[in-house]
Chain A
Amino acid sequence: MAYVCARGVRFNVVDLPGAPAARRREPVVMLHGLFTGSAASWFFTVAPALARTRPVRLIDWRGHGMSERTPTGYGTATMVADLAELTADLPPFAVVGHSYGATVGLRFARAHPGRTTRLALVDPPFIRLDQAADDLLPADGLSARAGRRAAALAAETSVLADLAAEPPVTAAELRALAGLPVLAVTGDGSPFRAAGELVGRALPGARRHVLAGGHDLHVTARARLTPLLNSFLEDAHA
């Protein structure tokens, strides 16, 4: 684990260096969702398979995992700036984002076009982002400590207000990505499944897949999601 201080905040950054032959290839940065997400969301699901052929970097967003919980700063503008700092040492890289991580990844790609080589959106909550907290806040089934941590984030920081104030992702915003390879994978039972259609309308060239499952496809549909992401990333080297 490496703690990195960026913009006055302590972040946890996890690098999977991969096999020696993989280390000089284009990296992929994987971004988790809010509340219950952390670097572990990818570390225990898709990341090890991707790390066989490329370097993988996982970060804990502020307020998540082992990164510092700041009272404010959970809007995409702040988190895009966080991401830029936490990846400044990398060559241009692919981005894989789940949930709110997909939203931040999209806005990072727009703000830093030369830094992003491709963008994979895993069940992006582009539709009704302002109400997304209802669907993202954890329900049952979490360990007591993880549940308390997510509840404390919601209660003690501006995260819910930041989400409510976040401008939704528009078709125009997506169209501005034209030229960037984009993959969108949505769950057929996800509250955000319409986001895939929005991506398809705005970016007809985007690759789209709908998998059986809900919002947490990296957990429940790992076996199908992993090869989709892998082949999308491998095209970069074709």
Chain B
Amino acid sequence: MTQSSDVLGEVVGMLVEVVGEDFLLDTEIGPDTTFNDELALESIEFVALAEKLQDRYGGRVDFAAFIAGLGLDEIMNMTVGDLVRHIEARLQPAAV
């Protein structure tokens, strides 16, 4: 459980850096926040977020490959929680 809240907190922190605090004044980011509708994240800002994820988690979280496997509708409807769950799954130690 600790790991879950850590990842969410880190992703929220990255989003604040990418989008800017001024823009987020009225928005409380949580797992159900949608990138497209609520954050109005532009696609190039998504790229910036992906690069921050890469810097933080290295090759374990390949956001570009994750996105490549999704359809446009899925990308448009993605929530912060969807991304956090993907990261958590990739951070799980491999089963022995």
Contact = CB atoms under 8 A, between A and B. Distances in A.
B64 interface: yes
B75 interface: yes
Contacts of A143: 36, 40, 42
Interface in B43-87: 43-44, 46-48, 50-52, 62, 64-65, 67-68, 72, 75
Given A40-B43, A60-B44, 17 more contacts: A1-B52, A40-B42, A40-B44, A43-B46, A43-B47, A43-B67, A48-B64, A48-B65, A48-B68, A49-B68, A52-B65, A66-B48, A143-B40, A144-B40, A145-B40, A145-B42, A149-B42
B47 A16 contact: no
Contacts, number: 56
Q: Which of B52, B65, B68 has the most CB of A within 10 A?
A: B68
A182 interface: no
A58 B43 CA distance: 14
Contact of B43 (A12, A38, A49, A52): A38
A65 B44 contact: yes
Contacts of A146: 42-43
A1 B48 CA distance: 6
A38 B40 contact: no
Given A43-B50, A219-B72, A16 B64 contact: yes
28 contacts: A1-B48, A1-B51, A14-B47, A14-B51, A16-B64, A38-B43, A39-B44, A40-B42, A40-B43, A40-B47, A43-B43, A43-B50, A43-B64, A44-B43, A44-B46, A44-B68, A44-B75, A47-B64, A48-B64, A48-B68, A49-B68, A58-B47, A65-B44, A66-B44, A66-B48, A143-B42, A145-B42, A146-B42
A120 interface: no
Interface residues of B, number: 18
B24 to A, nearest CB: 14
Given A145-B40, A146-B42, A219-B72, A44 B48 contact: no
A51 interface: yes
Contacts of B48: 1, 66
A58 B48 CA distance: 12
A146 B64 CA distance: 21
A219 B76 CA distance: 13
Interface in B15-60: 36, 40, 42-44, 46-48, 50-52
A145 to B, nearest CB: 6
Nearest to A39: B47
A17 to B, nearest CB: 9
Contacts of A39: 44, 47
A138 to B, nearest CB: 13
A16 B44 CA distance: 15
Nearest to A219: B72
Nearest to A44: B67
A101 B81 CA distance: 35
